[in-house]
Chains A and B, each alone.
Chain A
Amino acid sequence: MGMKSYDDGSLILTTHQIIWRDSSDFQICISVPLCLVVFCEKQSGGIGRSAKLSVHLQAAQANRTPGPVSRSRYDYVRFSFKNGGESEFHTKLQSAMQTKEWEKTSSQATSSPVSKSSAKTGPIRASGIVGIERKIEENRRVTDKNISVAFQDLTKLMEKAKEMVSLSSNIANKIKDKKGDITDDETVKFKSYLLSLGIPNPVTKETHGSGTHYHMQLAHEIASLLKQPLEENAGIMLLSDAYCRINRARGMELLSPEDLLNACRMLDNLKLHMKLREFETGVLVLQLDSHSDEKVISQTTELVDDSKSLSAQELANLVSVSVLLAKERLLLAERAGKLCRDDSDEGLRFYPNLFAQPMR
């Protein structure tokens, strides 16, 4: 079975196909439609061999006109340019591949890649792996578009939310300025709405009787719960300790740190015999009203005097408070000018302030 050898001919490139025509017999010509070309590979010639162009193809369509072979194990066709012209052909072929004229004139065109308006996407006609790939690509494009549309809605939502936030803070500020126009009850209600939206109200900290009903009730609960522990603890307790105690007592329906903080801020205003206090270092404590700084300072100073010098740890052990609290006491006494500090490799210690006293 002899195979016709396609030896001597010329290669013609059109916008839609590559045609090989036999030089001696113009009736003999075979062609490859450009839409099946995946890519073409150039192989430059050398001594003894001619330049070649390998054109890789997709699977042939079922309705193609019969060609030289009905089946081939190769997926490419190689043209051998014995008389040159290979570079130019390659360039022209690549630009024809880019232009894709066959797509524009075909009545069963696939959807164009860039179209903002709702383009008519007809059924995609392609078979084989590339056909599957194209279908996947099309799906992806559609999904992408849907997501963008959805996010547009989200952006609008965010804009509305921003407006709402600024509106409510405007109202909150107006409340702060003109308290007489709204009753206290309504103020509290409004604030609780804001709080439920997650907008912390800055007004709460400064104004009297502010804060939500919930926090007010909480404050009462905290006060009654912690009164005794505070008295046992020399009238002062770290807020974190308070948090632990309260939640342990509650067992269920635990308190969030935020709610505790907000409730404690109201203690002073509600005259519940204790208040929240913040030290310069940022440490937060609950403190009984009966607790006085002067007493603590003189007690601490005395203790330091007796021991010649003390570290925070040592003081903590002496008076059975936490190290953090002991440190605050020493700092308090230092600020009052009763103690001075010694900072060395051995750590931070406090001495009686002999600088302030007449010479020994």
Chain B
Amino acid sequence: MAASTTFNWPWQYDFPPFFTIQKNADTKAKQIEAWCTLVLEYHQHNKLLKLRVADALASPLFSNKAIERKLPKEGVMEVLESLCKKGNVQWDDKSKTSCVIYWKTIEQWADIIYSWASKTGSLNTVCTLHELTQGPHTTSEPFHGLDDWLLIKALSTLQSRGKAELIGEEGVKFFA
């Protein structure tokens, strides 16, 4: 699903020092924090779940042609590691060449889906996975169009909390 609107870059994106790893520890912490937020918002806006480091380095995310600056690879890895610690990034492989970007963590997805279920009175009913992500009732929901594998992960989390139960491969029942 393509982004409907153009992405709003934060002010840091046009600030050249943003693309240099800062030496002052406090300044650097704030810088990395800003990058983390940017990475998540960017992926959310473009509904992207995967990131390949090699491709990302050249993408507009880490490379601002207008001011001719790009974040060096060490910086990118630092940002991704920081996101990994927060649970927003999961590396695909040990060599850390690509990862999944959870712009919402699985826990957050679980909460969002469950609150929708209770809001719409779907508790104690069975829903299909399809109607959750593709159905007409959820078009305005953030999880609309979500990849199946991610949906299942979120629902599994709810299941382990005792709030839902996966039925077969296509359905789920929410509990109060």
Residues of A participating in the B interface, judged by any CB pair closer than 8 Å: 309, 334-335, 337, 340-344, 349, 351, 353-356, 359-360
Contact = CB atoms under 8 A, between A and B. Distances in A.
Nearest to B29: A355
A340 B24 contact: yes
Interface string B8-19: 000110011101
B16 A342 contact: yes
Nearest to A348: B20
Nearest to A335: B24
B69 A354 contact: no
A344 to B, nearest CB: 6
Nearest to A355: B30
Given A351-B15, A355-B34, A360-B11, A342 B20 contact: yes
Interface in B25-80: 26-27, 30-31, 34, 68-69
Nearest to B34: A355
Given A355-B31, A359-B11, A334 B17 contact: no
Given A356-B27, A356-B30, 14 more contacts: A334-B24, A337-B24, A341-B20, A342-B16, A342-B17, A342-B20, A344-B19, A344-B69, A354-B11, A354-B15, A355-B12, A355-B31, A355-B34, A359-B11
Interface range on chain B: under 10, 10 to 19, 20 to 34, or 35 or more? 10 to 19
22 contacts: A309-B16, A334-B27, A337-B24, A337-B26, A340-B20, A340-B24, A340-B27, A340-B31, A341-B17, A341-B22, A341-B23, A342-B19, A344-B68, A351-B15, A353-B24, A354-B11, A354-B15, A354-B17, A355-B27, A355-B30, A355-B34, A359-B11
B37 to A, nearest CB: 12
A344 B16 CA distance: 9
Which among B17, B23, B34, B69 has the highest number of chain A CB atoms within 10 Å? B17
B160 to A, nearest CB: 39
A341 B19 CA distance: 9
A359 B10 CA distance: 10
A279 to B, nearest CB: 14
B69 A340 contact: no
